[in-house]
Amino acid sequence: MWKKQPFNAGRENNEEEPSFSERPAFSQRRSPRYNRDRDFNRGDRDFNRGERDFHRDRAPRRFNDEDARPRPNQVNVALGDAESAPQTAVGGIREVTELLTNSPMKVHRVLFRHNSGNPKLYTLQKMAKKNRIHVQQVEARILDSYAVPNQGVVALCNEKELLKWDDVKSEFFTAKEKGERKLVVVATNIEDPRNLGACIRSSLGLGADIFLMPSKGMCGLTPTVTRASTGAVDKLRICRPDNLEATIGELKQAGYQVLGLDAATEVSLVDYKFGDQIVLAVGGEDVGLPPFIAKQCTDILRIPMNPEAQSYNASVALSLGLYEIARTRMPK
């Protein structure tokens, strides 16, 4: 009977090799000899027998977003609308820090990589919040769709630097004392860039003195907004107050009529008696006026409409409201 020899044992030259038929048949009790090709191709194992013993105490490697750049089919476009031009994006810790330090009113929002664990990004996030800039935590692949490399942070910029309310508010607070007519437009919850651009265009054409926007809940001044406004973005004063609710409250205390546009009211826009100082507010089509504005309104005005139409586009509603104000102010 053939017997397995020790590894270091020598064989005598006169010992005959047993024939294949004399060797014992394979059974489960007997461990098979190591076969590299067989173990390497086995689908349910990543390591062979010897390598498994070596890596037994090691934790398995997990995929990290930083290990590799996403494939093209895993990258989200900057804007969901394929016809929209991408918003200007600045990536990198140093670059975003300089932008927040020197031109914070040009930044629409700042995107940070989720669970980055980088203390520099945490400091940068506090700087953005101090400037009342909306921040958002996103996956690394979203950041890569805007700017590469980005070091875990990307700033999305407006097409022009917005005004600070503190720099212009004295002009509006003294308007009643001086007997000056002022028209302030407030737009909230408008996410469609074409809609926002149309609002800015109508505001300029129908005599608005300034256009106020909240710090979040709106799209920024993207290239699409600029094109839709046909240049009005560069001519109309656009401001982002630190606290829009408080700003409206201050204007109301200064003698302004605070008027909202909404279908859920009985007060008609037609032949309404407008004052000389007006704040006209419009909300998005889906949510309408936010509660913090509605509760401060002197009146909420309804635009005549066929019930089958359900609602007006925000830019259309604003245009109709501005036109009615301009019509009543025209000399007869």
Average pLDDT per consecutive 10 residues, the chain (332 residues; last block may be shorter): 46 49 50 46 46 45 39 38 66 94 94 91 94 92 91 94 94 92 95 94 96 90 93 96 94 95 88 94 86 94 84 91 92 69
Asked whether the domain spanning 165-329 has the same topology as the one spanning 74-157, the reply is: no
Domain boundaries defined on the chain: 74-157, 165-329
Nearest to 83 by CA among 213, 218, 227: 227
165-329, which class in CATH? alpha beta
What confidence score (pLDDT) does residue 5 get?
45
Q: What is the number of alpha carbons within 13 Å of residue 204 lying toward its C-beta?
A: 16
**φ/ψ of residue 182, rounded to 5:** -135, 140
Q: List the structure tokens of 332.
A: 């007869």
Q: What tens digit of pLDDT does each residue of 97-127 get?
A: 999 999 999 999 999 999 888 999 999 999 9
What confidence score (pLDDT) does residue 169 get?
94
Nearest to 258 by CA among 192, 186, 204: 186
Distances (CA, A) of 8 to 5, 11, 50, 321: 8, 10, 20, 99
What confidence score (pLDDT) does residue 74 get?
34
Angle (CA) 287 249 161, round 5°? 75
Domain 74-157 is classified in which CATH homologous superfamily? Ribosomal protein L30/S12 (3.30.1330.30)
What confidence score (pLDDT) does residue 263 get?
82
What confidence score (pLDDT) does residue 117 get?
87
What confidence score (pLDDT) does residue 286 get?
77
What residue has token string 């037609």?
Answer: 270
